[in-house]
């Protein structure tokens, strides 16, 4: 069944590059699912940089709210699925007013789908629990929910890597 590799790290730790390199080294047909929503010029520029790092023959889906939608379209056509990144997805869901219990339910369904697919899945997420306690409630809620989702995904993952300054540490 579907193997899940979970890649965590801080901002600019090299998570996405590691995911791309890992997928490229595995060989096979790759699909990339991007969760970012380009809300301003700076974010659009970041998205373009990320797009340019991916091989042109990889298929890309952009889905900021419900990863089950592209996964249903993908079916069994790909050998490797990259999801980048969960923290942006959690942020998008919170900003849409979706409560934590519904977010958790979505991720449980997502994990169930991924473990049933024949493809290997590589999931990228930010480790959000290494900094100070945020000053405002929205930021604390985000940190708490993202941390719980990361724990959920980690529990179901076959491999976990934590990146520090571009160097992957195998955790599981």
Enumerate the active-site residues.
Answer: 50
Distance CA 26, CA 151 (A): 25
What is the C-alpha separation between 131 and 55, in angstroms, rounded?
34
Residue 104 is classified by DSSP as H
**Burial profile 23-33: b = 16 or more Cβ within 10 angstroms, e = fewer:** beeeeeebbbb
- Rounded Cα distance, 14 and 56, in Å: 21
CB 128 within 8 A of CB 87: yes
The single-letter DSSP state of residue 96 is: T
Query: Is 154 in contact with 38 (CB distance < 8 Å)?
Result: no
- Residue whose C-alpha is closest to residue 123's, from 75, 77, 158, 74: 158
Q: How many residues does the chain have?
A: 172
């Amino acid at each position: 069944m579907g193997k899940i590799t979970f890649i965590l790290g801080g901002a600019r730790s090299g998570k996405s590059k590691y995911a791309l390199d890992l997928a490229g080294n595995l060989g096979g047909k790759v699909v990339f699912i991007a969760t970012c929503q380009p809300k301003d010029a700076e974010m659009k520029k970041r998205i373009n940089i990320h797009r340019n790092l991916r091989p042109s023959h990889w298929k890309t889906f952009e889905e900021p709210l419900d990863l089950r939608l592209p996964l249903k379209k993908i079916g069994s056509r790909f050998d490797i699925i990259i999801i980048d990144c969960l923290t942006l997805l959690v942020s998008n869901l919170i900003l849409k007013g979706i409560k934590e219990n519904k977010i958790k339910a979505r991720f449980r369904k997502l994990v169930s789908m991924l473990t049933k697919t024949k493809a290997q899945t590589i999931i990228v997420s930010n480790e959000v629990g290494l900094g100070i306690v945020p000053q405002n409630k929205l930021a604390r809620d985000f940190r708490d929910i993202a941390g719980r989702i990361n724990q959920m995904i980690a529990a179901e993952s076959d491999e976990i890597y934590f990146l520090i300054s571009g160097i992957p540490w195998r955790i599981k």
